Amino acid sequence: MTRSVAGKVVLVTGASSGIGWELAKQLAAEGCKVGVVARRAEPLNELVAHITGVGGDALAVPADVGSRDRVEEALAKVRERFGPIDLVIANAGIGRPTLRDPVNMSDVEDTLRINLMGVVYTVSAALPEMLARKDGHLVAISSLAAYRGLPAESAYCASKAAVNVYMDGLRMHLRNTGVRVTTICPGFIKTPMTATNKFYMPQLMEADYAARKMIRAIKRGKKVYNFPWQLHMLIKLSRWVPDGVMNWAMGDYEAEAQQAVADRQK
């Protein structure tokens, strides 16, 4: 069954660029009141100006989803402005390579904190009110990378795999409560995060196209939505591919990872 989102109060994290920006913009165009959350205030304000400029309603709330207190404060501000939150999309995430020797531990910790705990903090802050109302929808934007560990991407893949398992358990735990749970695992999408990737990204999608697919899955109440399906099947099959073949396919990614970390630290 497809549900309309018109008139719903929606919160989108990681909305300062890429997928989050497109999700917020498209949901606002469908009549949602949108609270947008990210660390950077300036692009959030630009997004709100765009939405309100075409007749929509949005509120910018700068916050770091890696801080439980900041997340709870952000949701409180959205409720104060728009009322009870109907749909939460925990989209915020970072992508940093995992180096081999020495391991860039601070990047690993940040990746797990933002990608995993950011989701946990966001959905947990919205859940009590949804349970009380017996209605609501919790969505986490994960990744097809959750299904396969990749060289120099250990932390990123692990963080997304953890999100999938967390949301699976939450969905079963919330059965018959009126609160729906959706996990969305996209492939490669053109965003500032993927712009630094040097390797080939098969079936690379534009962010606006990916957001439309995600919103359609949310309306249909999908439990888990993996797309594009061809890449999903390829990743599933790759679990039986020998490690040596995967290393060959990825190329000298350790050198690329070291360069990416060095560039970011300049």
Question: Which CATH fold topology does 9-265 show?
Answer: Rossmann fold (3.40.50)
pLDDT in tens, 170-207: 999 999 999 999 999 999 898 777 766 666 677 889 99
Q: How far is CA 143 from CA 57, 64, 79, 111, 262, in A?
A: 29, 21, 29, 14, 25
Give the C-alpha distances (Å, rounded to integers) separating 242 from 6, 149, 229, 239: 48, 12, 22, 8
- State the pTM of this model: 0.92
Cα 99 to Cα 115, 154, 200, 248: the distances in Å are: 18, 9, 20, 17
State the average pLDDT over residues 75-89. Answer: 98
From start to end of the chain, where are the E strands? 9-13, 33-38, 57-62, 87-90, 136-141, 179-186, 224-227
Cβ-contact 13, 91 below 8 angstroms: yes
Q: Is 156 one of the annotated active-site residues of the chain?
A: yes
**Tokens 């398992």, located at residue:** 165
Other C-beta atoms lying within 10 Å of the C-beta of residue 261: 16
Backbone torsion region of residue 90, taken as left when φ is above 0, otherwise alpha when ψ lies between -120 and 50, otherwise beta: beta
Active-site choice (147, 156, 166, 253)? 156
Every domain of the chain and the residues it spans? 9-265
What residues have CB less than 8 Å from 217, skipping those under 6 apart? Answer: 182, 184, 225
Give the pLDDT of residue 63. 97
Determine the pLDDT at residue 266: 61
CA 69 – CA 86 distance, rounded (Å): 21
The mean of the pLDDT values for the chain is: 92
Task: Could you list the beta-strand ranges (E) of 99-244.
Answer: 136-141, 179-186, 224-227
What digits encode the pLDDT tens for the residues 4-52? 999 999 999 999 999 999 999 999 999 999 999 999 999 999 999 999 9
List, for residues 215-229, the tens digit of each pLDDT value.
999 999 999 999 999
Encoding tokens for residue 215?
């919103």
Bridge partners of residue 140, in order along the sequence: 90, 183
Position 152 confidence tier, pLDDT thresholds 50, 70, 90 = confident
pLDDT > 90? residue 87: yes
pLDDT for the residue 195: 64
